Chains A and B, each alone.
Chain A
Amino acid sequence: MNLLKQLKASLVLGWLNGIIPIKRTPFWVISYLMFPLSLLFLLRLYSEELVAFAVLGGFLSIFAYTGIEVLGDVVYFKTVCKIQDMFVASPVSPSAYLFGLALSSLFYSFPGFLLLILISYFYGPLLPKHFPKLLLVLLLVWISFTSLGFTLSTFIREPRHAWPLVGILSILFSVLPPLYYPAALIPPVIRPLSLLIPTGSGAIILQQETGLLHFPKGFVRLAWFSLVLQTFLLWAIARYGSRWREN
């Protein structure tokens, strides 16, 4: 199939696995919002200044979490319904399949994205001029985590193994890096470690861009480089390293 037809396949899969279930079970959207909103609430109780950090962290963690959730979707289609082989033996390419599932996860993120924009309107730190870079960072984070989720899913044969993995990864990638707290709290010696995770790089970029913190220019450039590199590597591993056709 040509590129347009593959894109159409992705959009259809996004509709089937994203929009339809959201309409039928809106709880899914709420479940993705629970974690960032709870943290936002706790941080607001502690200090109003931290709300701006929590808003940025909320954006990043929603996109990371819905991205990593692709792991659960793939495992469901592959080992529960066992329907993925129908797509393998069809003109749908692995990239179109991955993009379709990733798109469906994006639909889940969308309500949370809108809610956080609304909160940001009252508490900051986002201004209209920040949106291009915010969207770019979120796009890269989303691609990274859907790719990671897809790659991991191809090695999981038992669906129950996917559940704890999603929980562990989402906490690992959204609580440990400086998403909900200022990156300046991390001692400078070990601060570069946070760049090893896409959400960590994204958080440093956004905290800098929105003026919440000021890092050396070289450090922010390194954060951009790290985020782009990780996105590319994770995508390449998902595209070429995952097992679409079994050996």
Chain B
Amino acid sequence: MNAVESQNLSKRYKSGVLALQDITLRVKKGRIVSLLGKNGAGKTTLIRILATQLMPTSGKAKVLGYDVVKEPDKIRKKIACIPQEAEPIGFLTVWEHLYGYLLMRGMGSSEARMKTEEVLKVIGLEGKRKALASELSGGMQRKLLLGMALATNAEVLFLDEPTAGLDLQSRGEVWRLLRELREEGRTIFLTTQNMEEAEVLSDEVFLIERGRILAGGKAEDLVRRIGWEVRVEVEGGWKREELERYGKCLPHAGSLLLYTSKEGAKRIVKQATRRGIRTRSRPVNLEDFFLLVGGENEPAQTA
């Protein structure tokens, strides 16, 4: 059975904005899956429909075999979710958040206490158990919310940009936690704008743009689909037409990006050094796939 599946799922808001169009995807259990896309691409809309928070307009979606429209109660027993930009409740302590949320979800008192202690250690907030949520830094608040979702026995976790605003170290800790959950057989469905996160963490990535899935698969397969080996960033001094003899070229943030072979990259760098032009080169990655396939499209509608 798939953890998540959808068939021609669409969402049109009352404002008329078409936020999702014919989304069809399948996610196996025990995987970490990332939805990658720009602001307003439809990531949050999709995650909210799957987490039974928002009704779709048409199409079908199932979570753990249950229909999101007809059987939301069955799904809600088995999922947990962290909404985008959610904050903990300022007047409650860290401990009260974790313990109270678990009790509310139906966990027994002794198990909830045990889980709370366990998760406090895992998220590194053991020393802050009595601190009010309003006294925590933004990163700590995010970790606390993540802890609330992790502490549940949910089989599928929907995390909407779970590492947004976290420093590098905290982000690394969250990634480690998510990998551990995957080892336990849980499915994690997350949205992110962080290419590295999607590439390093995910078993599968879906690139979403203007409400459509443009591509999906393993990150390395998507990178292979770029068809070039190296990205060379050239800062001025070269015309686009000249560079296009070596591969695919596109303007990006005031520079030109050249996607080319290893040989082509060597020649360009050599010529650039001779002409005193700064270049930076590296092997292609998921960010480049995003830029080439989705990033150069028109701006997305706001969802």
Contacts and interface: CB of A to CB of B under 8 A. Distances in A.
Task: Name A's interface SS.
Answer: helix
B285 to A, nearest CB: 32
A25 B148 contact: no
Interface stretch (B102-110, B123-131, B260-268, B294-302): B102-110
A246 B106 contact: no
A3 to B, nearest CB: 12
Contacts of A85: 48, 51, 53, 81, 83, 86
Interface stretch (A11-19, A43-51, A168-176, A194-202): A11-19
Contact of B104 (A81, A87, A89, A245): A87
B83 A83 contact: yes
A89 B76 contact: yes
A1 B158 CA distance: 20
A189 interface: no
A89 B53 contact: yes
A177 to B, nearest CB: 33
Interface in B80-96: 80-92, 96
Interface in B120-160: 145, 148-149, 152, 158
A81 B89 contact: yes
Interface string A151-165: 000000000000000
Interface in B232-267: none
Nearest to A244: B53
A247 interface: yes
Given A16-B100, A85-B53, A90 B83 contact: no
Contacts of B87: 80-83
A13 to B, nearest CB: 6
A89 B80 CA distance: 6
A86 B77 contact: no
Contacts of B86: 81-83, 85-86
29 contacts: A5-B106, A12-B100, A12-B104, A13-B100, A15-B100, A16-B89, A21-B91, A25-B91, A80-B87, A82-B84, A82-B86, A83-B83, A83-B86, A83-B88, A83-B89, A85-B51, A85-B81, A85-B83, A86-B145, A86-B148, A86-B149, A89-B53, A89-B76, A90-B76, A90-B105, A92-B105, A246-B48, A247-B14, A247-B54
Given A81-B88, A90-B79, 10 more contacts: A8-B106, A77-B89, A82-B83, A83-B88, A85-B48, A88-B53, A89-B53, A89-B158, A90-B80, A245-B54
Leading 10 A-B pairs by shortest Cβ distance: A89-B81, A89-B51, A85-B83, A82-B86, A9-B104, A5-B106, A12-B103, A16-B100, A91-B77, A12-B104
